[in-house]
Amino acid sequence: HTPYPRTVTICCCTRTHTPCQPALWKMTENCFMHHRTKVLTIDTMNPNVKKVEYAVRGPIVQRAVQIEKELKAGAKKPFSEVIRANIGDAHAMGQRPITFFRQVLALCSYPELLEGNEFPEDAKERARRILQACGGGSIGAYSASQGIECVRQDVARYIQERDGGIPCNPDNIYLSTGASDAIVTILKLLVCGEGRNRTGVMIPIPQYPLYSAALADLGAVQIEYYLDEENCWSLDVSELRRALVAAQQHCSPRALCIINPGNPTGQVQSRQCIEDVIRFAAEEHLFLMADEVYQDNVYAEGCEFHSFKKVLFEMGPEYSDTVELVSFHSTSKCYMGECGFRGGYMEVINMDPDVKVQLTKLVSVRLCPPVPGQALLDVVVNPPRPGEPSFNTYIKERTSTLQVLAEKAWLTEEVFNTVPGITCNPVQGAMYSFPRITQITGNLLLAPDMFYCMKLLEETGICLVPGSGFGQREGTYHFRMTILPPTDKLKIVLEKVKQFHQSFTQQYS
Amino acid sequence: HTPYPRTVTICCCTRTHTPCQPALWKMTENCFMHHRTKVLTIDTMNPNVKKVEYAVRGPIVQRAVQIEKELKAGAKKPFSEVIRANIGDAHAMGQRPITFFRQVLALCSYPELLEGNEFPEDAKERARRILQACGGGSIGAYSASQGIECVRQDVARYIQERDGGIPCNPDNIYLSTGASDAIVTILKLLVCGEGRNRTGVMIPIPQYPLYSAALADLGAVQIEYYLDEENCWSLDVSELRRALVAAQQHCSPRALCIINPGNPTGQVQSRQCIEDVIRFAAEEHLFLMADEVYQDNVYAEGCEFHSFKKVLFEMGPEYSDTVELVSFHSTSKCYMGECGFRGGYMEVINMDPDVKVQLTKLVSVRLCPPVPGQALLDVVVNPPRPGEPSFNTYIKERTSTLQVLAEKAWLTEEVFNTVPGITCNPVQGAMYSFPRITQITGNLLLAPDMFYCMKLLEETGICLVPGSGFGQREGTYHFRMTILPPTDKLKIVLEKVKQFHQSFTQQYS
């Protein structure tokens, strides 16, 4: 019997328009092409979606989930647990939430708690203010699509303070479902044209794969500029120019994405470099997108976070009146690590007012970002102030979380650089190391870094993401590992990777 | 001076590659085409986004927000407040959340509350179970992209019970950011082809404008089938066939969307009608999308909610083994009305396994739906059981909310049908009336129904959505009004609309 073809959709069954019995196609010759063919198959689905890749939750992670189930079912392995160092998921790795934030969220969820004495007055005051701004005093009401107005005001005040007084207009703030949502929304606005006129977007390599995934989904052209591994993953304008010129042959470059501090590469851009990038964007007529979700995660001595907004405005009206910039932030990273709440915002600067109307319309289709995430964002940008009852605990928790992250960043770099065949740039910021592995080979099925990470997972239970998921210079191989496991565990993880690397290179080089 | 063109992007400034001073283009002749042109303008943005419309938060609502600000600033108006009857936002209209749900959410947000005695044991038990399923025991951790496994299991059990034991596999459940998110995701999978091969999707007219907005955004073809206003907005298969045949001339119809109970039309489909629709989809090789977010909102005597899943399986393996169906649900409607949490799920049935892999990959790019919304969904599908301490309160709250909604549905229909020039079908279900207004005219700028709603807003403060935002038969005019204002206020609203309608028709007919 001929297997029935997946993509045929026209019924040649004798009883046309009556779907056949499930078993029939196995029995009658003239009944194998019929309606039972799926409408939606891999051959008939959206081809852009097929091109989407997202390694942070890719095949290695799927295998990790499988192994966890095997362990649970009693399978014998050379390890007792899977350690997920693949994703920047701080709470999952044991980081504690900030007490004050969670108190406010509990109060917002169940306002009856406002009557009791369990919670400090400053937490109650924040919760009351948020609830008053919600329809019917409930976080169960939709908010404005752009986000709750008082939260946007608090965000604007926070940015203004961060940037030394440079004004921030709440009308330019759009709250979002994590930063990813806002990034995809802006990319969507930018995409147009066909063939050589198709929108091209410049992204770093290595990059956070949300960018490549969103561009594939939107059918836009990915323009890759390489970060300089030899110089701590720094960004060089001449490389931007090389990538741009090459791309102009086959697409219409319109936007430049920057991730600072870098993901997966952890570099923190110097003020000078940011200025150069802005000048480049102005000269080359590019829309700037600054992914600044790790802005509080800066560890290396001599490094400091400079916001693109601040540098832009310090460059004077020639730039600050003209360059279109969107900056993204999130509640998922920094010292909060509240990934599950999907809170975030973007600030749009110098956006054409007509386009802004379109942006507001577009976000309204999804009604509003999750309100608990908006409430969380509000306390992140409006935390306890000196003199308030929760201030000391808040500062203590925040400082200690960031201090521990800094120590783990140093530890990671240090240990990796003792391993022959691994070189690791300083983890200046963010939450990841992205070491390079040399002298490795793959097998017939897997690229070397995928082979390496898969072996590591099977032998040690440690789940990393191969460098190919982020992009890397051809012939070089890396992996991304978060610095998030608790210090004790991180030491063990690093030791295990070290041992694995030694035996792996002995076996496969 | 020639105004500088918006879309010119090539610099003809003498100092090429050095952006000019902001004022320069007003001064020098050869400097008016320069880099200061915005990258992203209305002419250079994504053309699909421009076509997106979403009336539920459209111009009327924007004017309502403005009027609210004017009132706040002390402006004199013939009314003291804006009443937002434009959107199904129950809590904003004063509906109280279910106590048990919010207790569980408070416990999940601030697990220290598990130690105290403020909360009943069943709420604590639910919270503990949810927290145990979260990474690090925190709702601040990312969940699996498909949603927390135990929540998906609870959803599956809930569906199975709802459908009289027809099996439901948790692997077919995908949690989402409200139902909108899931609907857009499935539409995205379905879109492919160009020109006459472009995917067409059948949607009801009147429809909930998420569908038209998503199809415009995706560049898919909207195939409109009309609901029968003369027969309580019922769906007739011959009309489906008419619409399909007409569409086959210019696109490739692949999917059929049903909203049951209907939004904005409030009809509840009979079992027979659902069977006919399923048979039609099978014969015509269409992918079925059933938007069932109002499944608990059924008020009319003799009406009952029948899930597409249940009917499909009762039709036997000829259908249940073959027809591809996705059903959507949400925490935003029914008796919960928890819109702000953006919780929801979909069940995918008979989806090609390869496509399912692609779906899972696609949702992983956005990491996960908001975890507080997942926790909320969990208690919605796993509420207090008889014998548990919160059971009685839960049932009382739930029943009374649904009872009040039913009364308001009857009241609305009754009052509207006393007004000459308004005819209103029974609000069998959902949360809206969609009455027809006759004998009205517009002005030079506005369509009649838009003109009517705008006038109504200016004169009474009542915010409705014109029928054009949902689609209506040419030459007919409607508005959508929610039944959500508290009964006392709803009576006043209905009385005001009645008076307005009388004076409006006197003035403009």
Q: Which residue in A has a C-alpha nearest to residue B139's C-alpha? A: A340
Of B92, B140, B141, the CB nearest to A142: B92
Q: What distance in Å separates residue A363's CA from the closest CA in chain B?
A: 10
- How much is the pLDDT for A446? 79
CB B322 within 8 A of CB B350: yes
Q: Which of B142, B208, B348 to mutate to test the interface with A (most CBs of A within 10 A)?
A: B142
Within B387-434, strands assigned E span 422-423, 432-433
Range A52-94+394-508 classified under CATH 3.30.1600.10: no
My answer on whether omega of the bond before B209 falls inside 30° of 0, hence cis, is: no
| Cα–Cα dist A281/A305, whole Å | 20
Side chain identity, residue A370: P
CB B36 within 8 A of CB A322: yes
Choose among B294, B307, B395, B301: nearest CA to B337.
B294
**Whether B141 and A92 lie within 8 Å, measured CB to CB:** yes
**Whether A189 and B322 lie within 8 Å, measured CB to CB:** no
Of A116, A341, A361, the CB nearest to B372: A341
Of A144, A178, A317, the CB nearest to B367: A178
pLDDT tens-digit series, residues B450-487: 999 999 999 999 999 999 999 999 989 999 999 999 99
A108, A112, A117, A121 alpha-carbon torsion, rounded to 10°:
40
Query: Between 3.20.20.70, 3.40.50.720, 3.90.1150.10, 1.10.645.10, what CATH number should domain B50-94+395-508 receive?
Result: 3.90.1150.10
pLDDT tens-digit series, residues A219-255: 999 999 999 999 999 999 999 999 999 999 999 999 9
CB pairs under 8 A between A and B: 330
pLDDT tens-digit series, residues B54-70: 877 788 988 999 999 99
Pairing state of beta strands B199-205 and A252-259?
A: unpaired
**Whether B341 and A371 lie within 8 Å, measured CB to CB:** yes
My answer on whether omega of the bond before A204 falls inside 30° of 0, hence cis, is: no
Q: What distance in Å separates residue A318's CA from the closest CA in chain B?
A: 6
Q: Which residue in B has a C-alpha nearest to residue A53's C-alpha? A: B361
pLDDT tens-digit series, residues A74-129: 999 999 999 999 999 999 999 999 999 999 999 999 999 999 999 999 999 999 99
pLDDT tens-digit series, residues B176-190: 999 999 999 999 999
- How much is the pLDDT for A63? 93
Q: What distance in Å separates residue B215's CA from the closest CA in chain A?
A: 12
| Cα–Cα dist B328/B430, whole Å | 15
Rounded to the nearest 5°, which phi and psi values hold at A257?
A: -100, 135
| Cα–Cα dist B452/B470, whole Å | 16
Q: Which residue in B has a C-alpha nearest to residue A332's C-alpha? A: B140
Contacts of B41 in chain A (CB under 8 A): 352, 354-355
Same fold, B50-94+395-508 and B162-368: no
User: Mean per-residue pLDDT for B156-169?
Assistant: 97
In three-state secondary structure terms, A193 is coil
Q: How many CB atoms lie within 10 A of CB A374?
A: 33
Within B54-207, strands assigned E span 83-84, 173-177, 199-205
**Whether A87 and B142 lie within 8 Å, measured CB to CB:** yes
Return all residues near A56 (Cβ < 8 A) that are at least 6 apart. A86, A87, A209, A465, A469, B364
CB A371 within 8 A of CB A134: yes
Contacts of A364 in chain B (CB under 8 A): 54, 56-57
**Whether B361 and A52 lie within 8 Å, measured CB to CB:** yes
Identify the residue with better confidence: A457 or B27: A457
How far lies B85's CA from each of A71, B132, B217, B378, B485, in Å? Answer: 54, 40, 27, 29, 7
**Whether B189 and A324 lie within 8 Å, measured CB to CB:** no
How far lies A118's CA from each of A112, A138, A397, B103, B391, in Å? Answer: 11, 21, 20, 15, 26
Contacts of A337 in chain B (CB under 8 A): 140
Rounded to the nearest 5°, which phi and psi values hold at B26?
A: -80, -15
Of A46, A116, A337, the CB nearest to B192: A46
A113, A95, B374, A218 alpha-carbon torsion, rounded to 10°:
130
- How much is the pLDDT for B36? 65
CATH topology of domain B162-368: Aspartate Aminotransferase; domain 2 (3.40.640)
**Whether B142 and A340 lie within 8 Å, measured CB to CB:** yes
| Cα–Cα dist A267/A228, whole Å | 10
**Whether B254 and A189 lie within 8 Å, measured CB to CB:** no
Residue count of chain A, please give it.
Answer: 509
In three-state secondary structure terms, B485 is coil
Choose among B374, B466, B279: nearest CA to A35.
B279
Q: How high is the mean pLDDT of chain B?
A: 91
Q: What distance in Å separates residue A501's CA from the closest CA in chain B?
A: 28
**Whether A44 and B369 lie within 8 Å, measured CB to CB:** no
Show the tokens assigned to B437: 């207004």
Q: What distance in Å separates residue A502's CA from the closest CA in chain B?
A: 31
**Whether A45 and B18 lie within 8 Å, measured CB to CB:** no
Give one DSSP letter per residue of B331-388, joined into a string. SSSTTT--GGG-EEEEEEES--HHHHHHHHHHHHHT--S-HHHHHHHHHHHS-PPTTS
**Whether A341 and B139 lie within 8 Å, measured CB to CB:** yes
Of A49, A350, A365, the CB nearest to B52: A365
Please state the domain extents for chain A: 1-45, 52-94+394-508
The low-confidence residues of chain A, meaning pLDDT below 70, are 1-36, 441-444, 509
Show the tokens assigned to A450: 């995928």
Q: What share of chain B is helix, strand, coil (3-state, %, to 5)?
A: 45, 15, 40
pLDDT tens-digit series, residues A330-367: 999 999 999 999 999 999 999 999 999 999 999 998 89
Is the pLDDT at B1 greater than 60, yes or no? no
- How much is the pLDDT for B54? 84
Return all residues near A221 (Cβ < 8 A) that are at least 6 apart. A198, A199, A200, A201, A215, A247, A250, A251
Q: Print burial letters for B166-177: b (CB count within 10 Å at least 16), e (below 16).
A: bebebebbbbbb
Q: Print burial letters for A188-225: b (CB count within 10 Å at least 16), e (below 16).
A: bbbbbbeeeebbbbbbbbbbbbbbbbbbbbbebbbbbb
- How much is the pLDDT for B305? 97
B311, B317, B323, B329 alpha-carbon torsion, rounded to 10°:
40
Of B65, B361, B370, the CB nearest to A373: B370
Give one DSSP letter per residue of B237-263, joined into a string. HHHHHHHHHHHTTTSEEEEEEEESS-T
Q: Long-range contacts: B14-20, Cβ < 8 Å, 24+?
A: B17/A283, B18/A283, B19/A282, B19/A283, B19/A318, B19/A319, B19/A322, B20/A318
Choose among A106, A105, A124: nearest CA to A115.
A124
Rg of chain A on CA atoms, in Å: 25
Q: Which residue in A has a C-alpha nearest to residue B197's C-alpha? A: A44
Question: Which ipTM was obtained for this model?
Answer: 0.91
| Cα–Cα dist B181/B88, whole Å | 17
Rg of chain B on CA atoms, in Å: 25
- How much is the pLDDT for A3? 42
CB B183 within 8 A of CB B214: yes
User: What is the band of B507 on the pLDDT scale with cuts at 50, 70, 90?
Assistant: confident
Show the tokens assigned to B505: 């028709």
